[in-house]
């Protein structure tokens, strides 16, 4: 049971990190595009 809870928490943490990285990547691409268009 403890292992199951630990695995669930770890999976949720990983999912949150992936989502955060995804949003950061999208924002970075948007900034790069805007910077490229500005030149």
pLDDT band at 4 (very low <50, low <70, confident <90, very high): low
Can you tell me the mean pLDDT for 5-20?
A: 79
pLDDT at residue 33 greater than cutoff 80? yes
Give the CA distances from residue 21 to residues 9, 12, 15, 17, in Å, rounded to whole numbers and listed in that order: 18, 14, 10, 6
Domain ranges of the chain: 2-37
Terminal CA-CA length for the chain: 57
| Per-residue pLDDT at 18 | 77
Radius of gyration of the chain (CA): 17
Q: Does the model's pTM come out above 0.85?
A: no
pLDDT band at 29 (very low <50, low <70, confident <90, very high): confident
């Amino acid at each position: 049971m403890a292992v199951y809870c630990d695995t669930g928490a770890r999976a949720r943490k990983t999912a949150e990190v992936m989502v955060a990285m995804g949003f950061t990547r999208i924002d970075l691409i948007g900034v790069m595009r805007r910077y490229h268009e500005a030149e």
